[in-house]
Amino acid sequence: MKKRTSPRPVSDTPWFVLLAPELGGRFRDFAQACRATGVLDAKMKELLMLVLAAAFRCPHSVEAHLRAALEAGVSKEEIAEALLIAAMEGAGTQLTWAGDLFRKHLGASQAQANRGCIPTHGERQAPLQNLRERLPQRSGLDETAGIEKDVPAEDIAGKSRSKLALPI
């Protein structure tokens, strides 16, 4: 029998259900529904939960989802790649945030501004916002499922080189 490393009630009922049964029970039900069979398979769900636990630096959750991922058939290589992708995204987020703070408090040099080396957050978001404005609004997934529309590349990048097939 494995020795418990942290104090935990003998009951399998989570503490939040015991202390706040109505709300805690709903959260437990939501968590169970998220783990149920759906569009994403068990492997993908465990990888997602693992990388989120790693990003939030929760050792208990990382260990639990690491074991669950292996039990779901996720390979060590898949886990390593997923954790590296999470680390890369975390680093990218930190660099973006740090760049915004740098520009706000220290400003960009004229040479950097002329070369466009340090775009502002708004400049980075503008192409995405333009894309959102140009794509048709969807009222529901069922009515457009499986339909694709050719969108000229200039609608997305401002340059006409090819057409892209985007689901609408």
Is residue 165 within a helix (H) or strand (E), and if so which, with residue range?
strand 163-167
- Quick check: 66 and 85 in contact, CB under 8 A? no
**Quick check: 168 pLDDT over 90?**
no
**Quick check: 109 pLDDT over 60?**
no
Which tens digits make up the pLDDT trace of 69-84? 999 999 999 999 999 9
Write down all domains in the chain, each with its CATH number in brackets: 14-118 (1.20.1290.10), 119-134+145-168 (no CATH)
pLDDT band at 160 (very low <50, low <70, confident <90, very high): very low
Candidates 72, 78, 80; CA nearest to 40 is: 72
| Buried-exposed string 149-159: b where 16+ CB fall within 10 A, e elsewhere | eebeeeebeee
pLDDT band at 153 (very low <50, low <70, confident <90, very high): very low
Q: What is the pLDDT at residue 132?
A: 60
Average pLDDT, the chain: 76
**Quick check: 135 pLDDT over 70?**
no
pTM score of the predicted model? 0.56
Cα distances from 108 to residues 86, 97, 99, 115, in angstroms, run: 29, 15, 9, 11
pLDDT band at 134 (very low <50, low <70, confident <90, very high): low
Which tens digits make up the pLDDT trace of 81-100? 999 999 999 999 888 888 88
